[in-house]
Chains A and B, each alone.
Chain A
Amino acid sequence: MNEGLIIDIIIGISIASVPLIFASIGELLVERSGVLNLGVEGMMIVGALAGFVVQFHSGNAFLALLAAILAGMAIASIFAFLTQILLTNHVATGLSLTLFGLGIAAFVGRGYSEVRIELISAIHIPFLSDLPIVGPLLFGYNPLVYLAIFMVFLVWWFLFKTKQGLILRAIGDNHDAAHAIGHNVVRYRVLAILFGGAMAGIGGAFLSLVQVPIWGEDMTAGRGWIALGLVVFSSWQPFKVILGALIFGGITILQLHAQGFDIRISAQYLSMLPYLATIAILVSLRMGDKSKTNRTMPNCLGRIFHSTT
């Protein structure tokens, strides 16, 4: 293998992991607040479509991203309203959000299946991007790649370095106690859910604005679900999300290259790898751990909160 191919593979892995980083870091904050939103896949596909449509009509990447964020938040607000105000079951509501999102995206996007858009291009910093090896590996990505890393840092900072972050974690661990000392559980959770929607929206838009210039109603291909797995993998620790996403990005890209190298395994078996790897990693996490429950998991995850006072 030559140097160029290796650099290509590393860049490919980074690009493949970015949508997962966005979607999982959003869901991580949501789950830290005690809410389980299984609608990630639905929010991602809606973001992917909104970004694509706005990019197609306006050609303005900034507007396209804004649209993806707003679309993700809009559909997440349905979930927020149902689970936080009307106290519905998180699992059932999240599932219907995914169904609804997939349906509405396919429906609204039906006129866009044969058009192409201009992809958001990578940055080019004079001198730095031109350096050999280091240039393309560190300074030659799309701006959104840097934003993804920044968001991980931001979520970490928020959760562990701010007072609001501490309150949010307290709510996720014991909503009754947090409520008793006067914190507004519902407000924190609604805002967290909206943030999750915005992140899933960008994650989806990354697929349609950076990875491929076309729209397909199945373009998320289960990434929302993998993102949910990544949150478990990360043990709800922000920086581990990046590690997990790189592992999955790596498997995805390597199986694509393996298909190209005419390895004698049928393409279907190679395509199974990212999904099987998700399971394998979740299992390996628990193998060394003798305790019954996952200690880092927010205690109130998925539990319904209703204040009587």
Chain B
Amino acid sequence: MFHLVGRAYDFLAPRKGSLLVLCAITCLACSFFVSRLVVREDISTMLPDDSGRIASDFALLRLAPFAQRLTITVRHAGANPIQAAEILATALRRDPVFTRVLTGPPSNISLTFLTKLLPLAPALLTRLDTETLHALTDPEHVQTALEQNRRDLLSPGAVALKNVIRQDPLGIRNIVLPKLAAPSRLADVRIENGHFVSRDGKHALILVDTDIPMTDSLGAAKVMGSYEKALATLPEGAQAMLVGGHRHTHVNAQAIKGDLKIILPSALILLALIFLLFMRNRQSLYVFLVPVCVVGVAGTATALAYGSISGIVLGFGAVLLGISVDYALHVYFALQNSNSDENHTPAHTLTQISPAITFGALTSCTALAALLMSDIPGIRQLAVFSLFGIIVSFFMSLLILPHFITTKTGRRIITTPHNTRRACSVAPLITLWIAILSVGIWFGQHTRINGDLREMSFTPLEIQAEEDATRAVWGSMRDLALIFVRAQTFDDALEKNDRVWSFLQTNNATSSIISLAPLLPSMQTQLQNVERWEAFWQENGQKTLALMDTKQKALGFSSSAFSPFSEFISTAPETFSSESLHELGIQEFVDVLAMRDDGEFLVLTLLPDTMENAALLSDDAERELGARFVSGSRFRELLGDAMRIDVLCFSGSALAGVALLNAILFRNPRKTLLALLPIGMGVTTVLAVMYCFGQALNLFHIVSLPLIIGLGADYGIFMVCRPEQSAKHQTARAVLFSGLTTLCGFGVLVLARHPALHSIGITVLTGVGAAMITALWVVPALNGERR
């Protein structure tokens, strides 16, 4: 079958010019297509979508009140921070980048606030509140309340308080007022002169909204630029700390840019050194063109298959396609050193090396195809991209590249046939493999997997310190867990929210919980409350009014003094909607906890992200309540678990597939085990290094593993096939060169400060390094070759 490759060479050789033109047109068209692609930069493509739980949790976490918002803490030593905050807020408001700048609660609480509050009481009267109502109508309290009312009506504030007192002489409004206190638990904040101020009065808070998504790196730079400009207006001595996703995006983009300034020159210098040392040939440039063309073609094919392509996939796909240079290098070295005098025509050489290349490509495809089993859509897309790349590289290396490589003339590399010694038997190999696997499994089990997306980004100490300081001042308002309920109508969502609140009350977990339920119950609950209110006054109304009548006369009140109250408790009470809360000036609070999403209504409850709360909101409890508990810590745990399963699945499948293909190729257990050694050593070394340096395996390590498996498989096959081919094919040089270029190209990423780039660097450096050393020295030794 492999002689077809030789025949194809002979067929295409006279059509070399047309082939070049066709190839150039295709590559240029693909490159143009890729450059015009709308690349998606959404991190959610790198989150598992198996049960929808992780992806939907991630989407829900983004709806948390402070997730998209910028939080600015202003401090002015020895001066009032409010003034400094107001100066900064004014500067921010002038910039169109910021759509909303809040320095305090809405100031539309009117003089009639207390009178508007009272009509809500009937619909908010819980069973517990009824006890308060009993206390308020107690004769002793009635006497005290009327005396207080008399004093208040004689004070200078009487003008404003008179209507409130006439309507509510017993202080029923005090049943409603505590329910309005929930927003204050959102952050450890108090209101001073209409501004958010810390408990110690040393800090003022500014909340800033922008329409620019925090994942947009260019937009984030604009946001941070505008913020820096506004900072210049701060008075001398005042300081501000900004916490928000945009700052992270900006600093990460800058860190990557900074890293590239070091990495690119380093990689180029190292690659140039390798070129000067090993190749020094114009034709070798064609080898480098193969992966370049492959990225364009694979990108185009993936974009056509998916409709769009993730920026992360494009970036990491290019890394993975480091494998694609293998085949071109192998062909290059084989052809360069073939000799027509010895009947080694290029066609013959290609026929001879094509089994190794074919199986190398097949094993790489198997390793990458295993990624298709991943629950992470981005990794599946990465697999498709890389598969296209390997296939294109395979055909380009065997069918197109050979026409541009000529045999060396005048300076033939003389290679002596390999001395052979007795190859080791299967038993020591099996022992070696058991040792490698045991070590690998041990390290694999003891290496932590980190699902925390935050730790995959670059966070300078300064930002970390400011985030800690912000948390110390305002509490963990950005780290709260959330309970979501979702329904087709707002009232249905409120009904579910009532059930959640009731559940939390039953479990004594409401102390630090922020919920809309006490302030805006569903219609059903409101009607129950109204019924309770009517029942109370039916039983106690006349008695209370009679009691008040007696006491008010004694205190000099007129008979009509409290007629509004009498009317209020006699009239059939009404339910209310969220609009009534808007009129009270607390719409901001309502909007934070109730929103629309995908045509449905969402109501959320905020609670501390503790293990106790996570345990309380178990899967069973969620099902029973029709609610969803989402928290940062649970999300990280779920993501870590999903990644662990992913690693096990794809690593196991890849290794099994590669082993099977090797077995088919070699039909010899010893050679099969030998060819697999580089992969085993590569993966085991990565795990061992991670463990020894106390590093946890993250998403970027995982997406780099296929490179180790793919390259390791190629190296193993090439080196085990070597004695079966002509010794002139310079297989070891090809493997060494492939390994070195990969280490120089991607291993230098280990110099990066950015955790993602560093993770790829450390994986490639250790994994490919170990696989290359194993292939070049261990495999030949065990294969009975003597150099």
Chains A and B form a bound pair = no
